Structure 1
């Protein structure tokens, strides 16, 4: 498994995220991970391949999946695939924080097959989920899982959705909206030259899947990721035939009003 770092930062104030393009090799063994869960939400967009996320959740190229915090998934079996992976949480550990903690933990135990393995004074082996163990060591407290909003990941198949007009020249397949944070996944296509407005109320970003799109005077082709940060408005222009997949990150919580 190889990761190509895409971006890291904050979805909105206090909510950290990271985005990676993950490549799973073919012909050199199959990636396996045990059934597990996390305390953060995830979206996975399947660029290519047929990853198996366990318990009948078998995805295919062009599909997306929402992985709710606290929900179990796996065992994973993945070979010859590419996946765009987006993960976020208010208690996010940055890449630099993770790597430093990981290195320190290797002095005491071993990361193996998705687990962090230690041996006590009596010679007994203890296993913990690898990523969660890093989180606990960095935060200095025990990880508690949230009650999952959904019992398992939700797989979205765009072939099962109909196109609907969004504006003059652009059509949409609204694949899903999730949780009180209004996280969304949609697909857009241009039927004529037109503009898609990524509005400022949240971070949004798109994966260009077909054709070319333009931001101002710059033009981008397939396999480009374009971010529109919270508080920023980005106008995406394209001609007929262009297609993108769009991911809307959590809308920031609004302050309570006391009467």
Structure 2
């Protein structure tokens, strides 16, 4: 069991835009295909990113502000949950401040290895590779890496190849669009075998069956949960209570691994949590040939003579 409390002063500038600051909440182990990184992000200024894709899955929840668009009509509003499948292009991302003060826009992002088994590169590996590439004479220009000869490449592709010594593969997306769920439109349903505990089931994705739900405990209620296979990541959205004899409150993050029993108790106010379930990645006996080697698939490339 891991419990990480929100620290208003613990922020690191880890995003290529230079205007997003992260608080690293929970993370996996580098190497296995189910590695992950769970962060709280705050926005200090307006930023944008060109259309791009990743070789890992993402789940996003804007907590304060709905100022980011993801291109082609995709908007994630405050309180909505977005699932961005591995290999799926999105963007251009535009994130104006919309009158908010620096640091007010706030959101949760989970990045994790998808069903393809291509895994997820840790933030420590990224940081080290960036430094080594700079020391080799190159430089980073936003999300792009500029080699000493002046040629440019998408930065994460360069970093991946530097870390692993092989070309990055993009699983062809299992879904044609990001999936956006609005929890306000889901019903609270009682959790079987408990008193004063309800949940909203928002969905499960891919053959890995990663799932997302909301859990709410009424004041004084208790909830015990165990899963023999899946890791569970929970974040307190409101209220207070206790977990594993530790006091928890707003934005406390909890990790319960497979086989661990999660015991929660609400305090004097309703305790509401955001839960992501991460079953193990099961690799196929024969690797799928449904992948691309290009950062930008043909349908996302701009016509000749145009540039972003």
**Structure 1 equivalent of residue 105 of structure 2:** 81
TM-score, normalised by the number of residues in structure 2: 0.74
The Cα shift of 1:227 comes to 0.9
CA RMSD of aligned residues (A): 2.3
The Cα shift of 1:201 comes to 1.8
2:280 to 240, 248, 251: 251
Q: What pairs up with 1:174-189 in 2 under 5 angstroms?
A: 174-189=201-216
1:238 to 266, 270, 283: 266
Matched, 1:151 2:182: no
Map Cα deviations across residues 71-92 of structure 1 (whole Å, 9 max, x no partner): 0011111245212111112432
Matched, 1:20 2:39: yes
What is the SS of the residue equivalent to 2:223? strand
Q: What pairs up with 1:172-211 in 2 under 5 angstroms?
A: 172-191=199-218, 193-211=221-239
Alpha-carbon contact 1:189-1:241 (below 8 Å) kept: yes
The Cα shift of 1:14 comes to 4.3
- Separation in structure 1 between the aligned mates of residue 244 and residue 139 of structure 2, nearest angstrom: 49
1:108 to 124, 137, 147: 137
What is the SS of the residue equivalent to 2:208? coil
Alpha-carbon contact 1:48-1:61 (below 8 Å) kept: yes
Matched, 1:160 2:185: yes
- Runs of 4+ aligned structure 1 residues displaced above 6 Å come to none
The Cα shift of 1:119 comes to 5.5
Structure with greater proportional strand content? 1
Alpha-carbon contact 1:198-1:233 (below 8 Å) kept: yes
The Cα shift of 1:128 comes to 2.2
- Separation in structure 2 between the aligned mates of residue 12 and residue 206 of structure 1, nearest angstrom: 23
What is the SS of the residue equivalent to 2:151? strand
1:46 to 47, 50, 62: 62
What is the SS of the residue equivalent to 1:15? coil
**How many residues end up aligned between the 2 structures?**
249
1:62 to 76, 79, 82: 79
Decide whether aligned partners of structure 1 residues 44 and 139 sit closer, same or farther in structure 2, where only a CA change above 3 A counts. Answer: same
